């Protein structure tokens, strides 16, 4: 691990480079999706140029090579999150698909009328809607764990809501609107005391913390590759082996079976049971490349760098008339703000004209925005490739936009 050095990091991101005399784009939307380092992009092209083949079938050496690397990538993910076995690592298209998988398999097999699924008010729609869908089919109820006005979870309410009817508790590790870090350790422990399972949406958390699913004792932990510098279309479902073993499969097709006959079909062992069809081999390899890249850099230094930039941004804009930072969290990599009396999209458009990319809107979190009485916010989300110059340009552009409006 070498010490964090922003110019070495930045140089590895082709999308953030610029021609002489031009300014680079200011990318402040990494919580939506992160830019990719060259090593990740190269992994994709090397695979398609050099050894593209399907995995786990056929008998030629190309497929053997691809299969080996594909399974090595699974090991890389397993080590990255501290899972006990690579059987517990299921490839998915992303966090959304992983959450749907849990709802449709674990949920369908274990929920019945009267059961409750506790879901926090701070969730992304991906960790709400799949639960509503399975609740409608099983007669279970989705129960909201409210948040405080400062956008932290109301833990007293959580402890009160927890009961022996609770079967599933689903919360984000870190939320995407304000960067609130939920106390997932306490949530998991409390869920277990009531024999409920805890599903952790790690879509944002995985990018900023070292995750150890075993010490967390999480039953499920999901994330998307594209938020940790890997391509879109690849993600991970971690589940405890015993739970995954007991769950019925979801998608049916090739590779997830042991033996198929018209008399009946038996299913493959883990992890294949949940991986029907030809997988995103290139995506898996590129996710492993992103993880290896992250493992080789000073992640603590990166987080300190991000924290410094965030403070710089807040200090630079907080004097703007009618500007409010919404639910500011002390250690987040992102923050949301509104300017009272001005529509968030109008500001975003004026920023975009100055080559500043950030997210304006509801951030796929309608219930949280409703609780705040807002229809949208502007969100600044930082990643390890952002620079002080990015933040200076953002501050100047926002002042200019607000002066115009």
Task: Kindly state whether residue 381 participates in binding ligand PMP, applying the rule CB under 6 A.
Answer: no
Task: Kindly state whether residue 201 participates in binding ligand PMP, applying the rule CB under 6 A.
Answer: yes
HEC profile for the chain?
Answer: CECCCHHHHHCCCHHHCCCCCCCCCEECECCCCCCCCHHHHHHHHHHHHHHCCCCCCCCCHHHHHHHHHHHHHHHHHHHHHCCCCHHHEEEECCHHHHHHHHHHHHHHHHCCCCCEEEEECCCCHHHCHHHHHHHHHHCCEEEEECECCCCCECHHHHHHHCCCCEEEEEEECECCCCCCECCHHHHHHHHHHCCCEEEEECCCHHHCCCCCHHHHCCCEEEEEHHHHCCCCCCEEEEECHHHHHHCCCCCCCCCCEEEEECCEEEECCCCHHHCCCCCCHHHHHHHHHHHHHHHCECHHHHHHHHHHHHHHHHHHHCCCCCEEEECCCCCCCEEEEEECCCCHHHHHHHHHHCCEECEEECCCCHHHHHHHCCCCEEEEECCCCCCHHHHHHHHHHHHHHHHHC
Task: Kindly state whether residue 90 participates in binding ligand PMP, applying the rule CB under 6 A.
Answer: no
Site for ligand PMP (CB under 6 A): which residue of 81, 95, 339, 369? 95
Residues 146-175 close enough to bind ligand PMP by CB under 6 A:
172, 175
Site for ligand PMP (CB under 6 A): which residue of 102, 126, 338, 398? 126
Scanning 1-9, 35-43, 75-83, 198-206 for contacts with ligand PMP by CB under 6 A, the matching segment is 198-206
Site for ligand PMP (CB under 6 A): which residue of 176, 180, 333, 377? 176
The least distance separating ligand PMP from the CB of residue 131, rounded to whole angstroms, comes to: 13
Task: Kindly state whether residue 204 participates in binding ligand PMP, applying the rule CB under 6 A.
Answer: yes
Site for ligand PMP (CB under 6 A): which residue of 43, 180, 224, 381? 224
- 402 catalytic? Reply is no
Q: Which is nearer to ligand PMP, 100 or 138 (CB)?
A: 100
Scanning 197-205, 261-269, 288-296, 379-387 for contacts with ligand PMP by CB under 6 A, the matching segment is 197-205
Task: Kindly state whether residue 96 participates in binding ligand PMP, applying the rule CB under 6 A.
Answer: yes
Q: Which is nearer to ligand PMP, 76 or 333 (CB)?
A: 333
Q: Which is nearer to ligand PMP, 176 or 377 (CB)?
A: 176
Task: Kindly state whether residue 184 participates in binding ligand PMP, applying the rule CB under 6 A.
Answer: no
Catalytic hit among 66, 118, 364, 368 = 364
Which of 249, 245, 243, 254 lies closest to 279, judged by CA? 254
Site for ligand PMP (CB under 6 A): which residue of 124, 208, 379, 393? 124
Residues 346-365 close enough to bind ligand PMP by CB under 6 A:
364
Task: Kindly state whether residue 180 participates in binding ligand PMP, applying the rule CB under 6 A.
Answer: no
Footprint of ligand PMP (CB under 6 A): 94-96, 124, 126-127, 172, 175-176, 201, 203-204, 224, 226, 364
Q: Any idea which residues carry the catalytic annotation?
A: 364
């Amino acid at each position: 691990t070498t010490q964090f050095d922003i110019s070495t990091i930045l140089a590895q991101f082709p999308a953030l480079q610029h021609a002489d005399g031009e300014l680079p784009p200011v990318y402040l939307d990494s919580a939506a999706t992160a830019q990719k380092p060259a090593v990740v992009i190269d992994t994709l092209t090397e695979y398609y140029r050099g050894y593209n083949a399907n995995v786990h079938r056929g008998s030629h050496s190309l497929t053997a090579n691809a299969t080996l690397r594909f399974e090595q990538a699974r090991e890389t993910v397993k080590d990255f999150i501290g899972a006990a076995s690579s059987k517990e690592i299921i490839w998915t298209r992303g966090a959304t698909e992983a959450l749907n998988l849990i709802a449709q398999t674990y949920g369908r097999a274990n929920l019945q009328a009267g059961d409750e699924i506790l879901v926090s008010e701070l969730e992304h729609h991906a960790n709400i809607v799949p639960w509503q869908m399975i609740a409608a089919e099983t007669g279970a109820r989705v129960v909201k764990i409210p948040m405080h006005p400062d956008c932290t979870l109301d833990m007293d309410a959580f402890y009160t809501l927890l009961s022996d009817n609770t079967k599933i508790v689903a919360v984000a590790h870190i939320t995407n609107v304000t960067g609130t870090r939920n106390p997932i350790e306490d949530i998991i422990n409390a869920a277990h005391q009531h024999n409920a399972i805890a599903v952790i949406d790690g879509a944002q958390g995985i990018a900023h913390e070292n995750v150890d699913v075993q010490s967390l004792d999480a039953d499920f932990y999901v994330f998307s590759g594209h938020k940790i510098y890997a391509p879109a279309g690849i993600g991970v479902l971690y589940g405890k082996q015993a739970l995954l073993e007991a769950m019925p499969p979801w998608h049916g097709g090739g590779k997830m079976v042991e033996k198929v006959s018209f008399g009946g079909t038996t299913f493959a062992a883990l992890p294949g049971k949940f991986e029907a069809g030809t997988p995103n081999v290139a995506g898996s390899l590129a996710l492993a490349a992103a993880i290896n890249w992250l493992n080789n850099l000073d992640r603590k230094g990166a987080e300190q760098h991000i924290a410094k930039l965030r403070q710089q941004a807040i200090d630079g804009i907080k004097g703007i008339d009618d500007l409010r930072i919404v639910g500011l969290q002390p250690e987040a990599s992102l923050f949301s703000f509104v300017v009272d009396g001005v529509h968030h999209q109008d500001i975003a458009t004026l920023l975009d004209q100055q080559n500043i990319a950030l997210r304006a809107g509801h951030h796929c979190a309608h219930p949280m925005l409703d609780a705040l009485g807002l229809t949208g916010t502007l969100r600044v989300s930082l990643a390890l490739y952002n620079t002080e110059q990015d933040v200076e340009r953002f501050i100047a552009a926002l002042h200019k936009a607000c002066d115009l409006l």
